[in-house]
Structure 1
């Protein structure tokens, strides 16, 4: 894609003076991309408005949803539309796949069997949550006991789940309201919620992190309930946009102000350290945030990738050191990221309409069809593979990878969207899925793998014809 076209895809906000890194610093790549495996494309066009969400169901299916109020179940390998879930008249704002327990809506065997199928929850700004049987496409229930738009959902233990909006609500697997925590005159909604150890929840409202505890009937003498557990000291100047578990004992928050904060969660929730540089104030008359944290991707319970403005950083959570960074990876802000191929690539997508692949130019992609013998690890961890470091390898001065900062190389660029690319989904051996404001879902396929599949199909057909 030419630089002119990329500029046209950028939003007006991104074009403001000082918003992004200089265009001259953003690397370009030609048509010859030998490290880019995604040479085939399949465009899925069943949505009628912006597609903002992708969610995996299993190794062969995923769901897309967006502003048209519908969710679509796709077959990952073929791109075939399996079901369309139509139950909302406003944009879908959150998706959740429940880990199903062996209980039922009703006492009859048919309903019990149906409930053991995966259950997809779709939440919307229409103040409804729909519960769907993923295997049949049937709507099991529509929950209407909500006082506001639903911004987020999270699964808890024993089939329970929680939804956040103006209030925080606790639900049973059957969609029964167990408890609603009324936040009264709170000015901002709960936008993010995360399950953390010891029956606790971390929730975000604007720049405030809140902690809630799920109490059992033995503690309350009645039903499960939500209780406020505390408000850790505010560490962000601006609204928190990312909330993820890094490990069983640490989670992270990322904010518009450009800071990433690590919180201990094993016992009490408390601040541990900040990873990124000091908080930055908004710029220009429009109060833009060129260094905002859009996405955090944890890796192997020790590392995390952070999308900061139009670039990305890789941090070691234990040491707090920056292992790698690319300040100017795109022409506009990065919206989402995913680590692919066992660490072979970091895929980033942006408001500039592109998807880019980053890594070490000396590392080839891991092939999912390799035999057990061929799959012997050449790199001890995903991060080692991303940085091109062999097990035990150190630089010439004897310093480990946690000291020497790696410079990621641009290995490939995927062009197919005509607007902001909102989200990416790793489909394993079936490739990569993306969605965007152009109403499209795109499957990016490994050309070599697809060629092998076609050859195998032809061989099977020839064998059938000969028999």
Structure 2
């Protein structure tokens, strides 16, 4: 760990020490972290408040946003800020890419449309009457939907096509996803509601005349929904702070399975220790869920409870984000305790096994180092537990989220206002050697 990293970890370590009294048996990484390739850091500074969002643009650019009301577009190769998008008056709540534009929504009741290449503001949409908390694109169209107190349908030119008013007794929409057949699933408090976007027939420009209507309200969760994801074309999943995960069919909008059902879910002082904060799905089969300060993996195709992996205490505080590296080698978790942790299996002592798994194009095989047949035999009584391979410590507050950029590393953001790129040191060494070799081979270079 570098001196810079140690300076940045002081407050985070203090928090971890106090949290150890509350959550026992949280392991420490091995000395030297021999299996952690991300040992170089690049710190990007521009934000003045909590950074909550990271939006990948391409292989080398990302946009970050948060409570300082600004969006910064970065080149993550060298850490340069390319554009600063200013205009919102209050914190930015959500951000998506829609074709060649960036859409940002804010608690200032507006949506802004930005050019993805030069950062210019193209449109300001002011029709919402309260904070805008969620955005989602309609696939294969120029349409997008925004949600908050009401739900609105727009085209990319900023034209409002439809507004559906919601009652004063309903909570604001906080999460939305797009599923098959131009349907939108929304989450507001404990409730899931499905809407349909329908192009009007007999018109050349169907997007302009599209309609949006309510299809169905689904059976509610016991507690507030914090995560909603598309699993496959045939199903989606929702998770709530009581720990329950519900798998829904996309066709008839009925619950298909329930995972992680807990009876006494409130815990001491009603802190909801089993809260589902984040989920993602791998291979349309394996559902990864952040459960309180731990995580679980569920096989949604299994006939029983589907649990194949459980780590009860992975961090000292609740996990805020969970994800996988692009090649499937590692799983990452970020937490309120200020750390990012790297999970997986160390290489085998058998070179042939390592070569076989490294060449596998099945991410779950690479991550667990088990064959597909071995994975099928896993169940609640025969679970796997990934090993802690490394820990990233540089943020001085909660790590809100992260995005994997493959060979360019991991980009994270946090409550300390920092954006950090965690670089693979071996790959960076190769890049520097090539750069030096290029300079030396150039007759005009200075040696």
Tell me, yes or no, whether TM beats 0.5. yes
Q: What are the equivalent positions in structure 2 for 1:345-364 lying under 5 Å apart?
A: 345-362=330-347
Offset of residue 342 of structure 1:
1.7
Instruction: Identify if the C-alpha distance between structure 1 residues 186 and 37 changes in structure 2 by more than 3 Å, giving closer, same or farther.
Output: same
Q: TM-score, normalised by structure 2?
A: 0.90
Residue 55 of structure 2 corresponds to residue 55 of structure 1: yes
Residue 288 of structure 2 corresponds to residue 311 of structure 1: no
Partner of 2:274: 291
Q: TM-score, normalised by structure 1?
A: 0.86
Q: What are the equivalent positions in structure 2 for 1:335-350 lying under 5 Å apart?
A: 335-350=320-335
Secondary structure at the counterpart of residue 465 of structure 1: coil
Whole-angstrom distance in 2 between the partners of 1:92 and 1:216? 30
Partner of 2:226: 241
Whole-angstrom distance in 2 between the partners of 1:165 and 1:57? 25
Which of 365, 369, 376 is residue 388 of structure 1 equivalent to?
A: 369
Partner of 2:443: 465
Partner of 2:3: none
Partner of 2:360: 379
Equivalent pair of 2:358/2:366 in contact (CA under 8 Å)? no
Instruction: Identify if the C-alpha distance between structure 1 residues 212 and 279 changes in structure 2 by more than 3 Å, giving closer, same or farther.
Output: farther
Whole-angstrom distance in 2 between the partners of 1:227 and 1:5? 49
Instruction: Identify if the C-alpha distance between structure 1 residues 40 and 446 changes in structure 2 by more than 3 Å, giving closer, same or farther.
Output: same
The 10-residue stretch of structure 1 (413-422 or 1-10) with the greater mean CA deviation from structure 2: 1-10
Residue 377 of structure 2 corresponds to residue 400 of structure 1: yes
Offset of residue 72 of structure 1:
0.5
Which of 126, 149, 156 is residue 166 of structure 1 equivalent to?
A: 149
Secondary structure at the counterpart of residue 439 of structure 2: helix
Equivalent pair of 1:10/1:351 in contact (CA under 8 Å)? no
Whole-angstrom distance in 2 between the partners of 1:443 and 1:375? 30
Give the gaps of 5 or more residues in structure 2. Answer: 1-5, 350-354
Partner of 2:243: 258
Aligned Cα RMSD in Å? 2.6
Offset of residue 190 of structure 1:
0.6
Partner of 1:145: 127
Which of 410, 419, 430 is residue 388 of structure 2 equivalent to?
A: 410
Equivalent pair of 1:379/1:390 in contact (CA under 8 Å)? no
Equivalent pair of 2:223/2:241 in contact (CA under 8 Å)? yes
Whole-angstrom distance in 1 between the partners of 2:260 and 2:177? 21
Q: What are the equivalent positions in structure 2 for 1:443-462 lying under 5 Å apart?
A: 443-462=421-440
Which of 9, 14, 19 is residue 8 of structure 1 equivalent to?
A: 14
Offset of residue 5 of structure 1:
5.6
Whole-angstrom distance in 2 between the partners of 1:284 and 1:402? 29
C-alpha deviations, 1:319-369, integer Å up to 9, x for none? 0411111110000000001101522111101111111001112269xxxxx
Give the gaps of 5 or more residues in structure 1. Answer: 100-117, 365-373
Whole-angstrom distance in 2 between the partners of 1:75 and 1:202? 34
User: Where has structure 1 moved over 4 Å in runs of 4 or more?
Assistant: 1-7, 219-222, 374-377
Whole-angstrom distance in 1 between the partners of 2:149 and 2:157? 22
C-alpha deviations, 1:239-269, integer Å up to 9, x for none? 000000011111000001100000000x221
Whole-angstrom distance in 1 between the partners of 2:371 and 2:28? 28
Whole-angstrom distance in 2 between the partners of 1:449 and 1:402? 37
